[in-house]
A and B are shown apart, each in its own frame.
Chain A
Amino acid sequence: MTVNEHAENWMGYPVKNYLECLEAREALDYEGTVYRIASEYDSELVFADIFRQFADHPDSVLAPGIIIGSWMDDDSQNSSAGVVQLLVEFAARFPRVRGIFFGDIICEENEVSWIQNDDISPVINAFPQLETLRIRGTNGLVLGRLNHKNLKALAIESGGLGLETVKEVVNSRLPQLEDLELWLGSENYGADTSVKDLAPFMDPARFPKLRRLALCNSEYQDEIAAAVASSAILPQLEELSLSDGVLSDTGAHALLHAASRMTNLKGLDLHHHYMSKGMMELILRAFPFAQIHDHEEDSDPDDRYISLSE
Chain B
Amino acid sequence: MPASPSTPIVVIGIPGHKRVQLFLAAAQPLNRTCHVVDWQDVLATVGGDPSPWADCVPEGATVRLESPGQCFAVEKQLLKLGGGLCRTSPLDIASLQFDRGAILSMHQWYLGWCCALAFVEKALESRHVQWMNHPRDIIVMFDKAACRRRLLDCNLPVPASLGVLSSFEDVIECMEREKMRRIFIKPCSGSSASGVIALQIGAGGRIQAQSPMEMVMHPDGDVSFYNSRKVRVFRDLNEIRRLVSFVCRQRGLTERWMPKATLDGLAFDLRIIVIAGKASHVAVRMSRHPMTNLHLGAQRGDIGRLRQVVGEPAWNRCLRVAEDAMARAFPQCHYAGLDVMMTTGVHRPYILEVNAFGDLMPNLPSLTDDADTYTRELLEWERITGEQL
Minimum Cβ distance to chain A for residue B307 (Å): 15
Minimum Cβ distance to chain A for residue B234 (Å): 13
Chain A interface size range: 20 to 34
Whether A77 touches B181, Cβ cut-off 8 Å, given contacts A42-B256, A108-B259, is: yes
Tell me if B48 counts as interface (CB < 8 A to partner A). no
Chain A residues with CB under 8 A of B258: 41
Bound-complex Cα distance A110 to B200 (A):
10
3 interchain residue pairs of minimum CB distance:
A108-B259, A75-B179, A20-B346
Q: Which listed residue, A36, A38, A108, touches B267 by the CB 8 Å rule? A: A108
28 A-B pairs with C-beta separation under 8 A: A4-B266, A6-B262, A17-B346, A20-B345, A20-B346, A20-B347, A23-B346, A24-B313, A39-B345, A40-B344, A40-B345, A40-B348, A70-B345, A75-B180, A76-B181, A76-B202, A77-B181, A77-B202, A106-B262, A106-B344, A108-B259, A108-B261, A108-B344, A109-B259, A110-B182, A114-B206, A139-B203, A310-B233
Bound-complex Cα distance A294 to B203 (A):
34
Tell me if B344 and A70 are in contact (CB < 8 A): yes
Besides A5-B264, A70-B259, A114-B202, 13 more A-B contacts (Cβ < 8 Å) are A4-B267, A5-B265, A6-B344, A41-B256, A41-B258, A42-B256, A75-B179, A77-B203, A108-B260, A108-B267, A110-B182, A114-B206, A116-B203
1/0 contact string of A34-66 vs chain B (CB within 8 Å)? 001011111000000000000000000000000
* Interface residues, chain A, with chain B CB atoms under 8 Å away: 4-6, 17, 19-20, 23-24, 36, 38-42, 69-70, 74-77, 106, 108-110, 114, 116, 139, 310
* Best-surrounded residue of A20, A41, A77 (most CB of chain B within 10 A): A41
Minimum Cβ distance to chain B for residue A218 (Å): 22
Tell me if B262 and A108 are in contact (CB < 8 A): yes
Chain B interface size range: 20 to 34
Within 8 A of A (CB), among B295-352: 313, 343-348
Chain B residues with CB under 8 A of A20: 345-347
Within 8 A of A (CB), among B133-171: 159-160
Bound-complex Cα distance A75 to B262 (A):
21
Which secondary structure characterizes the binding site on chain B? Answer: loop
Bound-complex Cα distance A305 to B347 (A):
33
Chain A residues with CB under 8 A of B160: 41-42
Bound-complex Cα distance A207 to B362 (A):
60
Bound-complex Cα distance A17 to B344 (A):
10
Minimum Cβ distance to chain A for residue B182 (Å): 5
Chain B residues with CB under 8 A of A4: 262, 265-267, 288
Chain B residues with CB under 8 A of A19: 345-346
Minimum Cβ distance to chain B for residue A142 (Å): 16
Residue of B nearest to A139 (CB): B203
Within 8 A of A (CB), among B339-385: 343-348
Residue of A nearest to B235 (CB): A188
Residue of A nearest to B201 (CB): A77
Chain A residues with CB under 8 A of B233: 310
Chain A residues with CB under 8 A of B313: 24
Bound-complex Cα distance A70 to B261 (A):
13
Bound-complex Cα distance A36 to B344 (A):
12
Pair count A-B, CB < 8 A: 72
Within 8 A of A (CB), among B201-232: 202-203, 206
* Best-surrounded residue of B203, B259, B313 (most CB of chain A within 10 A): B259
Minimum Cβ distance to chain B for residue A136 (Å): 14
Bound-complex Cα distance A76 to B346 (A):
18
Minimum Cβ distance to chain B for residue A134 (Å): 18
Bound-complex Cα distance A5 to B261 (A):
9
Residue of A nearest to B310 (CB): A20
Bound-complex Cα distance A76 to B175 (A):
11
Bound-complex Cα distance A108 to B343 (A):
9
Minimum Cβ distance to chain B for residue A105 (Å): 9
Tell me if A74 and B345 are in contact (CB < 8 A): no
Chain B residues with CB under 8 A of A106: 259, 262, 344
Bound-complex Cα distance A74 to B258 (A):
10
Chain A residues with CB under 8 A of B288: 4
Chain A residues with CB under 8 A of B200: 76, 114
Bound-complex Cα distance A41 to B161 (A):
12
Chain A residues with CB under 8 A of B347: 20
Chain B residues with CB under 8 A of A38: 345
Bound-complex Cα distance A137 to B159 (A):
26
Whether A69 touches B181, Cβ cut-off 8 Å, given contacts A42-B256, A114-B200, is: no
Residue of B nearest to A78 (CB): B179
Minimum Cβ distance to chain B for residue A92 (Å): 27
Tell me if B182 and A69 are in contact (CB < 8 A): no
Bound-complex Cα distance A47 to B213 (A):
36
Residue of A nearest to B233 (CB): A310
Chain A residues with CB under 8 A of B256: 41-42
Tell me if B202 and A69 are in contact (CB < 8 A): no
Tell me if A109 and B344 are in contact (CB < 8 A): yes
Minimum Cβ distance to chain B for residue A211 (Å): 29
Tell me if A5 and B345 are in contact (CB < 8 A): no
Chain A residues with CB under 8 A of B261: 108
Q: Which listed residue, B182, B262, B343, touches A5 by the CB 8 Å rule? A: B262
Minimum Cβ distance to chain A for residue B155 (Å): 14
Bound-complex Cα distance A310 to B344 (A):
19
Bound-complex Cα distance A5 to B345 (A):
11
Minimum Cβ distance to chain A for residue B314 (Å): 9
Bound-complex Cα distance A116 to B260 (A):
20
Minimum Cβ distance to chain B for residue A149 (Å): 34
Minimum Cβ distance to chain A for residue B255 (Å): 11
Chain B residues with CB under 8 A of A114: 200, 202, 206
Minimum Cβ distance to chain A for residue B180 (Å): 7
Chain A residues with CB under 8 A of B159: 42
Minimum Cβ distance to chain B for residue A307 (Å): 12
Bound-complex Cα distance A310 to B288 (A):
13
Bound-complex Cα distance A230 to B305 (A):
46
Residue of B nearest to A79 (CB): B203
Tell me if A74 and B259 are in contact (CB < 8 A): no
Tell me if B345 and A69 are in contact (CB < 8 A): yes
1/0 contact string of B268-289 vs chain A (CB within 8 Å)? 0000000000000000000010
Bound-complex Cα distance A42 to B182 (A):
13
Bound-complex Cα distance A24 to B183 (A):
29
Residue of A nearest to B181 (CB): A76
Tell me if A74 and B262 are in contact (CB < 8 A): no
